[in-house]
Structure 1
Amino acid sequence: MSSNITAFPTPLMKEGFAEVARWIALDPDGETSIYRKFGELRARSLLYKQCRLAALEKRLGELDAQDAASDDMDAKDAARTWETMVQRLAAGDEAARVRTELMAEIDIVLKDYSEALLLNDEVAKLNRPSQRVLDAYRQWFTKPYPALGGIAKTALDDPNDLVLLGTDGSSETDYLSLLLRRYWPTYREELSRDGLHRIGRFSEKSISVAVASISIVVAAFLLVGPIVILYFVASDLTKLGIVAGFTAGFALSVGLMTSAKRAEVFAATAAYAAVLVVFVSGDISHSPATKVSVGN
């Protein structure tokens, strides 16, 4: 998503939730599918479920302790044998009924708690929206007045409580991709609700293709270029300067054009420098020619 582009035909005007839903759905990359995750409420709900389950666990422990301390051999046998407990339950035994109902409640609460844990784990893995998209969304959403009224108008207030749907986080965050997104031509644009700003949309795939193409060209140059140059250079001092310069350029390109971590940048740079050093130490450009004489 970007701005400052030429005008396209104005889409059918809508109002309220219909307008916001249309605006979200227009983005082909799903970058505008931004919603609240209600982190505090989710945590509080988990805490309540956890406490409820802990209370049931405590109650079950008390029943187990009663069975262990009891002199009733039938009760002890029911604690060890499922068939005996079923028989006591069928006979109307109160202790068997209480334990059976407690276990049934534990099953329900435990299932609810486990499902909540798994769902919260999935929500925690969702990516946060980029600041670029969030700024555009807020610009459109809030001006000249909030697109939605009531409590809904505060949905974008807390950036730490927002998640992005429909993406796997594969959008590149390297500096080259970020730079291209700022100036990339857009295929569609619309007038913001305030009538003063234009919001443009572009395909994230086109950015990925451009970054990949540039990376291939730069990588080819950084690999072939120094080898060709070093082949024609005789001075050792000049060779060292060339190796140092290309190594620095390689490290810079990896840092700017990829999402590699610092450790990965160091490792790749060391491997690249090793290749150049091996080439220089081989002295391919000045190896003496082997002469073969043919005797009579």
Structure 2
Amino acid sequence: MEIAPISPTQAVENVHWTGVQTHNDPKVIWERQLLKEGSYLIADSLAQNSSKSAAVFRRYDKLAMHRLIVLSKELRGFEMIHDQYVDDISREGDPEGLESGIDSEQFGLKIMEYYNLLAAYSGVLHLEPPAGRTVEALDRFISTPKFHGGKPWLGHQLKYQMKKNGARTTYPDLVSLYTPAENDYLSRFVDKFFYGFFLTPESTEGAKYVNEQKMQRFVTFVGTVISIGFLVAAMWVLWRLEDHMIPKLGAVTGFVVAFAGWLGFLTTAQRKDVIAATAAYAAVLVVFVSQQSPVATQTQGGAVATQSR
């Protein structure tokens, strides 16, 4: 979840006072207590989410990039000093008495921080964005006091407040610690029309949370049934066509194209996996066609003559 503190001025504007306010005013003390406890309240809500799909945070792209650039600039200074040191050695031919001018300890700390930040940020970039309905549910729960005892959770927000028209825009760099289920068209279809079957116990009227793990298992089951159906349906159709070779080839082509489209557009299979699975599926159908039982071709004197097709 986005933990974005707002300024004290904004915090004061969110609470409407009456009368003269002092530091000893109970409302002021209550507001400060909310600012302190808000993060704990949100953390408790996240911990109660059974599928952990509500654990949404910001990447802070701008801050991470800025820190990388600053460190790169500092390391460039070390690099220039080192290059000058190497040039001096090559000209003087006597490294004794020459100093690099680099603080080894400081240099080591800077370059380690730079490498660690690169590695950490690279890992964060591989996290997927949260499901849209998860962001909406969390934002509605945080911004609606009646869902948590009538008290606002000050200092935390999932969206930017636009100054011009008052609209609220979702932070563009949100990531989910748990990969959301809606990463393919089949999952999105199930999530859109059948999400009610996967609601978690902590769901309320205003904030509905979906158990992503259960939904993913259901989508996997449906995908498996459809994949098996492609094979079984193809065998039945090809068997019914008997010895009609042209319709058989047309049916094989249609099933192979449909199977490739199913894998490529309705699942998360990678391109190489789609090609490999399609080739295997086509090979099975070709073998089935070539190995079908002989069919009767003519009857003569009560005997049945057969010919392999």
**2:293 matched to 1:284?**
yes
1:175 is matched by which residue type in structure 2? Answer: Y
1:253 is matched by which residue type in structure 2? Answer: W
**2:269 matched to 1:250?**
no
TM-score (norm 1): 0.68
Q: Give the structure 2 partner of residue 219 of structure 1.
A: 227
SS at match of 1:275: helix
Identity value in percent: 25
What is the aligned counterpart of 1:164 among 157, 176, 197? 176
> Within 2, Cα distance between the matches of 1:252 and 1:68?
64
Structure holding more helix per residue: 1
Distance 1:219 1:69, change over 3 A: closer
**2:269 matched to 1:269?**
no
| Unmatched 5+ stretches in structure 1 | 1-13, 79-84, 86-94, 192-196, 292-296
What is the aligned counterpart of 2:241 among 225, 228, 233? 233
**2:88 matched to 1:66?**
yes
Paired residues for 1:1-296 under 5 Å: 16-70=38-92, 76-78=94-96, 96=99, 99=100, 102-143=103-144, 148-150=153-155, 152-153=156-157, 157-165=169-177, 167=178, 169=179, 171=181, 173-182=183-192, 183-184=194-195, 185=197, 186-191=199-204, 197-234=205-242, 235-255=244-264, 257-261=266-270, 264-265=273-274, 267-284=276-293, 286=295
Distance 1:111 1:261, change over 3 A: closer
Give the C-alpha shift of residue 144 in structure 1: 6.5
Distance 1:187 1:118, change over 3 A: closer
* Deviation larger for 15-24 or 279-288: 279-288
1:203 is matched by which residue type in structure 2? Answer: N
> Within 1, Cα distance between the matches of 2:46 and 2:68?
30
1:137 is matched by which residue type in structure 2? Answer: L
Q: Is the 8 A contact 2:135 2:158 kept in 1?
A: no
TM-score (norm 2): 0.65
Give the C-alpha shift of residue 189 in structure 1: 4.3
Q: Which has the higher contact order (CA 8 A, sep 6+)?
A: 1
Distance 1:262 1:100, change over 3 A: closer
> Within 2, Cα distance between the matches of 1:61 and 1:242?
70
Larger radius of gyration: 1
Give the C-alpha shift of residue 163 in structure 1: 1.9
2:278 is matched by which residue type in structure 1? Answer: T
1:161 is matched by which residue type in structure 2? Answer: D
2:263 is matched by which residue type in structure 1? Answer: V
Give the C-alpha shift of residue 55 in structure 1: 0.9
> Within 2, Cα distance between the matches of 1:239 and 1:264?
26
> Within 1, Cα distance between the matches of 2:102 and 2:66?
27
2:282 is matched by which residue type in structure 1? Answer: A
> Within 1, Cα distance between the matches of 2:280 and 2:184?
21
The Cα RMSD (Å) is 3.5
Number of aligned residues: 249
Give the C-alpha shift of residue 170 in structure 1: 7.6
Q: Is the 8 A contact 1:20 1:147 kept in 2?
A: no
Distance 1:237 1:40, change over 3 A: same
1:219 is matched by which residue type in structure 2? Answer: S
* Deviation larger for 119-128 or 237-246: 237-246
Q: Residue by residue, what CA displacement relative to the aligned partner does 1:163-188 show, whole Å, maximum 9, x if unpaired?
A: 222x3x48462222222223131242
> Within 1, Cα distance between the matches of 2:226 and 2:270?
19
> Within 1, Cα distance between the matches of 2:268 and 2:202?
29
Q: Is the 8 A contact 2:58 2:173 kept in 1?
A: yes
* Deviation larger for 17-26 or 249-258: 249-258
> Within 1, Cα distance between the matches of 2:270 and 2:215?
21
SS at match of 2:216: helix
